[in-house]
Amino acid sequence: MRQLQTTTTYQVTDFARRYRDVLDEAREREVFVRDKDGTTLVVTIAEEVSKNRELVALSSDLFRLLRAVMGNRAEEVANSGQFAWLSVFPEADRRLFVDEVLQPMLVALSGGPLRPLFELIEDWKSTAELWTNDELRDELMAPIDTPFSNVSL
């Protein structure tokens, strides 16, 4: 995980002369390069930029979902971007999803790994697929001592 550190700003002439040093530093933290026209460019690891873009999109949709769930507005859940699939769940399950996703989301936003967050979301998506099957949902929601109707021994 990358730590928050002070950022070095190089002039473009420094970058031209010492590009290897600048690139080596950029592997550790963001480096700024100021061009002659005053424009400042960021040199960093591309994977970090991609991760940040994913997190921005995910955060936006998660905040939209959070607003819908906390306001008990089921119709807005269906319009919550990449979380629209949660609309198949009852309200209590949508609230549970929000509770479960917040911690791995905060970890990812603070520079931690994305994998636990994405795995959790995929697990919930798999459950949503099962939930859309009426017969299977009824079987799974039946009292525990009810025998399965489509199972033969």
Is residue 4 pLDDT above 80, yes or no?
A: no
Contact 64, 76 (CB under 8 A): yes
Instruction: Say what the pLDDT of residue 123 is.
Output: 95
Instruction: Say what the pLDDT of residue 97 is.
Output: 95
Contact 122, 110 (CB under 8 A): no
CATH 3.40.1620 residue ranges of the chain are 8-44
Q: What is the pLDDT of residues 99-110, one digit of tens each?
A: 999 999 999 998
Angle between helices 46-70 and 91-109 (to 10 degrees): 150
Instruction: Say what the pLDDT of residue 1 is.
Output: 44
142: nearest Cα among 151, 79, 2: 151
CA distances from 129 to 10, 40, 45, 123 (A): 52, 47, 36, 10
8-44 under CATH 3.40.1620, yes or no: yes
